[in-house]
Structure 1
Amino acid sequence: MEIRPAQPDDVPGIDALLRASFPAADEAMLVQRLCIDGDMVLTMVAHDEAESGVVGMAAFSRMDVAVNGRAVAAVALAPVATLPGWRRQGIAEMLIAAGHDMLERAGYVLAFVLGDRGYYRRFGYDADWAKGFDSPYAGEHLMVLPLQSAGMPCGVRGHAAHARAFAALAGAGEGA
């Protein structure tokens, strides 16, 4: 199995993976909209030749974020998916870690995620750090991770806006 950035030939496999991994097509539509709108920053895939394609993926999309009045380069992690038969093998963890490494090297400062605190805490995401950000998704499930070695300073205040495509997903009743 290979963990790598997605390539154009992976698009059908990513779409099939998302449709097989979630009860509705909302996440597949989210990824399509992020790409069409030009908001997709990085999509990591787990590719297995024996399986003939994509068995896992993690998407990172552009955000509009300001910290203490200054714009910073930030991304949102979502969605993350692994084919049912490939779950609980560490694939999602490898995808997320590889994505974080690439984004850090590219100069991104923060990564946000909406999700289970227990799960995303293992990657360093923290809901307490997100409390200082004004966001339509503010609450216990909004978490942030500093990607640069300086870490997260105390008293951070700012705003964090996800790409427009997330509002459409939330409007579909599935949340973001």
Structure 2
Amino acid sequence: MSDTMQGAGTAAGEWFFTENGQRKGPFSATALVDLLGAEKVNGDTPVWKKGMSEWQPLRATDLAIHLQDAPPPVASSEINNGLVWTIALAPIPYTFLAAYRDLQLVQFPYENHTYIKLATFLVPAVVNAVLCLLDERQLKRAGYANNWLTVSGILLAPAYLFLRAKRLKQTPYYGFVWIALFVIGTILIGTDR
């Protein structure tokens, strides 16, 4: 199996798919079905073969018969957005945590504040990661598996929120709310110093 497109001439039965903005292939239909079984591709993966005018999701091609074991993803309007809104509103308690840290620094300037400084960084990072991973698990159960969601959920909550909205074809209101609350919290904490 090849990772990149081999030349301009392709046989009629050779398939290509996209991964991270790159063309992968050519693959035989059997090899593509094997990749489907290994969960390297899924029904939403854009595929193409000679004779097709444009890339199409695998589920819209004749390879879709191999997807019969799994139902299509749940409609995005049916997915519970409670966790994602909790993530979006999370900067509010983080602002209070940072304000408490600053208050401790002012009231007790000669004490060691290493733990509270560390907590004001670690608590938001861990809570965001846990909430994002719980929401991402919910999305997987609904049929929206995506490794980029997992990675972004662990590393950066706003990236997760925007990728989630894109994956579910929703307007990313919750991403905008997170950013707005983070900016407001940063400004409020910055003016207290």
TM above 0.5, one fold? Answer: no
TM-score bracket for the superposition, by shorter chain length: under 0.3
Q: Considering only CA atoms, is the larger Rg found in Structure 1 or Structure 2?
A: 2
State the TM-score, normalized to the length of structure 2.
Answer: 0.24
**Which protein has the bigger helix share?**
2
**TM-score under structure 1 normalisation?**
0.26
